[in-house]
Amino acid sequence: MSIILKSAKVINAESKYNGTQQDILISEGKIVKIAKSISDKNARIIDIKDLHVSNGWFDSSVSFGEPGFEERETIENGGIVASKSGFTDVVLNSNTNPVIDSQAGISFVKSKNSSCNIHPLGALTISSESKEMAELFDMKNAGAVGFYDYKKPIINSNLLKISLQYSQAFNSLIMSFPLDKSIAKNGIINEGEISVNYGIKGIPNFSEEIQINRDLHILEYTGGNLHIPTISTKKSLDLIKKAKEKGLNVTCSVAIHNLTFNEAKLKDFDTRFKVLPPLRTEKDRLALVKGVKDGVIDLVTSDHCPIDVENKKTDIDNAEYGTIGLESFFGSLLNLFTLEETIKILTRGRKLFNIENFDFKEGSEARLSLFKISKEFEFSKSHIKSKSKNSAFLGTKMKGYPLGIVNSNNIIINE
């Protein structure tokens, strides 16, 4: 089947078509022709007012649930959610039951049909318990794009050292969540004015920073590829910036909710804003936004984490951490950055995970995101396609609206 995208405005700083309106003919999964006007009576016509197109978007941290937590999200529906949110590629975390820590677990994920491309992470340690290294090489051969104990710190420093050394033999990415649990203990939100005034146990900034400092010292000794996911403080940013200036091969990401909100959202004990790492101060938030603009922060992620209502809509002490974010990701970024900056953020990062990039040109595989810039609207439950509805972004004003994707021969349009 052939598809023609009519009068689509191209947003791609590296393309000669950037900023222009083009017809795009796609056939047999490839971009066949790009021109001002294309006719093909046998092609399916996609003619949407204010249609924009870019290279396919990429999200480096997405959770679904399957296997084990299908009531939160399945891989099939999660793929549809990602596709309708504009994403052609997502990296899937291993926080399932059982944890994906073996070749069989990776093969299970890879065997599932999905409208977008799902790239699984394997757990770094068996059952993500930070005691014994998992089958990294076997998982790599099965299709794992990196190794990460989702939201769980690597407690054993020697285990991180060995992992960084061993993974160099097959060029894989090691991810280390920045949290010292002995300092954070049973903290729930950011340690600061809100936690003190409301008598809620806090998670101090330095519980994150001391772990990053440790990891960077280990990386300097071992070499290898280290990624620090979802940082949340200004000092964490400063530590990583200095490490990069020293030539260490370290990258980092930030979650969109840590760029958008600060700790004041917890004043009403709204558990939608209970996330890990916690929402920090406004000073930290502004520093993180600047870190993205300056390029010190390599990736912004939705950190999409579905939680069933029984475990989320409860008291602040017992509610689980996490918010969904795929559906609101594009609009939230546009509240912080220009359109061109937003698309750069959404299309970068594949190289870190050894995932192939495709150029926007004739002859390339069609891996495209479709979107529009609408009048301001309020993000509501009607925009949520996920099985779980635990979104911190409900009620947020937005202008950007994802329409869907073209992914080789698949076209998914948000109705």
Does the pLDDT at position 1 exceed 80? Answer: no
Q: How far, CA to CA in Å, does 55 sit from each of 28, 52, 272, 355, 384?
A: 18, 11, 31, 14, 23
Give the pLDDT score at 141: 98
Query: Residue with structure tokens 């959404």?
Result: 346
- CB–CB of 41/68 below 8 Å? no
301 touches 275 (CB < 8 A): no
Q: What is the pLDDT of residue 410?
A: 87
Alpha-carbon distance 89 to 352, whole Å? 13
Q: Dump pLDDT digits (tens) for 36-74.
A: 999 998 899 999 999 999 999 999 999 999 999 999 999
Q: Are residues 168 and 196 in the same domain?
A: yes
Burial grade of 366 (CB within 10 A; 0-12, 13-18, 19 or more) = buried
List 180, 303, 315, 359, catalytic entry: 303
- Can you give the pLDDT at residue 134? 98
Among 324, 353, 382, the domain boundary falls at 353
Q: Please, what is the average pLDDT of the chain? A: 96
Considering the domain architecture, whether residues 269 and 347 belong to the same structural domain is answered as yes
Compute CA 374 distance to the chain's CA centroid, rounded to the nearest angstrom: 24
Tell whether 270 and 405 lie within a shared domain: no
93 contacts 119 by C-beta, under 8 angstroms: no
Torsional class of 145: left (φ above 0), alpha (ψ -120 to 50), beta (otherwise): alpha
In this prediction, residue 415 has a pLDDT band, given cuts at 50, 70 and 90, of low
Number of domains the chain is built from: 2
230 and 379 inside one domain = no
Q: What is the pLDDT of residue 346?
A: 98
d(CA 384, CA 388): 9
% of residues, the chain, pLDDT over 70: 100
Q: Are residues 116 and 24 in the same domain?
A: no
**Per-residue pLDDT tens digits for 195-244:** 999 999 999 999 999 999 999 999 999 999 999 999 999 999 999 999 99
Cα 94 to Cα 92: distance, rounded to the nearest angstrom: 7
CATH of the domain at 373: 2.30.40.10
Cis omega (within 30 of 0) for bond into 178 = no
Q: 98: cis peptide before it, omega within 30°?
A: yes
pTM over 0.75: yes
pLDDT, tens digit, 9 for 90 and up, residues 299-354: 999 999 999 999 999 999 999 999 999 999 999 999 999 999 999 999 999 999 99
Res 145 pLDDT > 70: yes
Residue with tokens 């071992």: 222
Q: What pLDDT is attached to residue 374?
A: 85
Q: Are residues 152 and 275 in the same domain?
A: yes
Query: How many whole angstroms separate alpha carbon 413 and alpha carbon 415?
Result: 6
Question: CA-to-CA distance for 217 and 54, rounded, in angstroms?
Answer: 39
Q: Which amino acid is at 210?
A: I
Same-domain pairing of 137 and 179: yes
Does residue 157 contact residue 337 with C-beta atoms inside 8 Å? no
If asked whether residues 232 and 318 sit together in one domain, one would say yes
Same domain, 123 and 197: yes
Active site residue 303: yes
3-class DSSP assignment, residue 44: strand
Work out whether strand 52-55 and strand 367-378 pair parallel, antiparallel, or are unpaired. antiparallel
Question: Within this chain, do residues 391 and 323 fall inside the same structural domain, yes or no?
Answer: no
Sign (positive/negative) of CA torsion 336, 332, 291, 293? negative
- Domain stops at, among 353, 376, 391: 353
171 vs 144: CA distance, rounded Å: 12
Contact 369, 54 (CB under 8 A): yes
Please indicate, yes or no, whether residues 30 and 118 belong to a single structural domain of this protein: no
User: What are φ and ψ of residue 353, in 5° steps?
Assistant: -105, 10
Query: How much is the average pLDDT of 131-145?
Result: 98
HSE at residue 331, side-chain half, CA atoms within 13 A, is 25
Strand partners, 23: 35
Tokens found for residue 111? 């065997």
Is the model's pLDDT at 251 over the cut of 70? yes
| Structural domain that includes position 35 | 2-53+362-413
Q: Which helix (H) or strand (E) holds 60?
A: strand 57-62
CATH number of the domain at 220, please: 3.20.20.140
The CA-based angle 283-286-292, given to 5 degrees, is 140
Whether residue 309 is found in the same domain as residue 367: no
pLDDT tens digit sequence for 364-410: 999 999 999 988 999 999 999 999 999 999 999 999 999 999 998 88
Q: Among the three residues 328, 353, 378, which one is the final residue of a domain in this structure?
A: 353
